[in-house]
Amino acid sequence: MSTFPIRLSVLVPVFDEARFVEAALVRVRALPVDTQVVCVDDGSTDGTDAILRTLHDRGLIDVLVRHERNRGKGAAVRTALAHADGDVVVIQDADLEYDPADLPRLLAPIADGRADAVIGDRFGGSPQRVLYFWHRVANGLLTGLSNVLTNLNLSDMECGYKLVKTDLMRSLPLTADRFGIEPELTARLAQSHARIYQAHVSYSGRTYAEGKKIRWRDGVAAVGHVLRFTLLPPRAPRYRPGPWPPARAESTPP
């Protein structure tokens, strides 16, 4: 039974995650939340597409879409967003670096009307796998640059867990195709004057041998993304929230 009077659409961009995607979706489906799962296979070539079709047939996936070629995480998120029917959306990576068990806690500030968006923070408050020093340095520099330009005080701008009211998410002019979706979402939320909270999340990062996809080139590109999305048009319109929680149509007895 759901612990919240709202519906959560979980947007799952998937690229070559045959080893992990089923376990990730099983964890999502175990949440005590009314959940819609939208998966976008972003041109996988390792057998992920067949696994996703089976999971769709089993009911673990509500909506399954395939990109015939790999277009990037941001493009997959935009495709998934077009199919979302929940009140709140979250991007869930299919590699189990982020634990879906954290989602009810992150959802709470939105559910109770305090926040329009919640961004995760991987660097405190929860056990973390110890990995790459330079990744942490790069993240700190990017988060600091983003904070200077957005006037936010985030601890982890690049965190993949960003929960956003669906109507707000759809109002944002999102254009990034790859991992630039993270700084773009942050910039657009700041421009919209949304009420943003952050909350600690657990994080089990992968090594490159285990399939981690982001590379140093993506970190360099992220500097350009932060500058572009904060300083250049288009800009997100100011968000004007409606009644919360949104009214849901009552089912008519037969």
Domain extent, residue 55, equals 7-231
Determine the pLDDT at residue 118. Answer: 98
Beta bridge pairs of residue 199? 120
Kindly report, residue by residue over 102-122, the tens digit of the pLDDT.
999 999 999 999 999 999 998
Identify the pLDDT of residue 131: 56
* Residues 118, 51: Cα–Cα separation, whole Å: 31
Q: With respect to residue 143, please indicate whether it lies within any of the assigned structural domains.
A: yes
Tell me the per-residue pLDDT of 181-226, one tens digit each, with 9 for 90 and over. 999 999 999 999 999 999 999 988 645 455 455 665 766 888 999 9
In-domain check, residue 181: yes
Whether 1 is in a domain gets the answer no
pLDDT at residue 139 tops 60: yes
Q: Is residue 15 part of a domain?
A: yes
Q: Report the pLDDT value the prediction gives residue 200, as an integer from 0 to 100.
A: 94
pLDDT of residue 33 exceeding 60: yes
Let me know if residue 243 belongs to a domain.
Answer: no
* Residue 2 falls inside a structural domain: no
CATH number at residue 162: 3.90.550.10
pLDDT at 254 over 70: no
Asked if residue 239 belongs to a domain, the reply is no
Handedness of CA 194, 171, 185, 2 (dihedral sign): positive
Looking at the domain assignment, is residue 65 inside a domain?
Answer: yes
Q: Is 209 left (phi over 0), alpha (psi -120 to 50) or beta?
A: alpha
Separation between Cα atoms, residue 118 and residue 90, nearest integer Å: 9
Residue 61 clears pLDDT 70, i.e. is over it:
yes
pTM of the entire predicted model: 0.90
Residues 121/199, Cβ–Cβ less than 8 Å: yes
Average pLDDT over residues 62-68: 98
Please count the structural domains in the chain: 1
Residues near 132 by beta carbon (within 8 Å), at least 6 away in sequence: 205
Tokens of 63: 């909506």
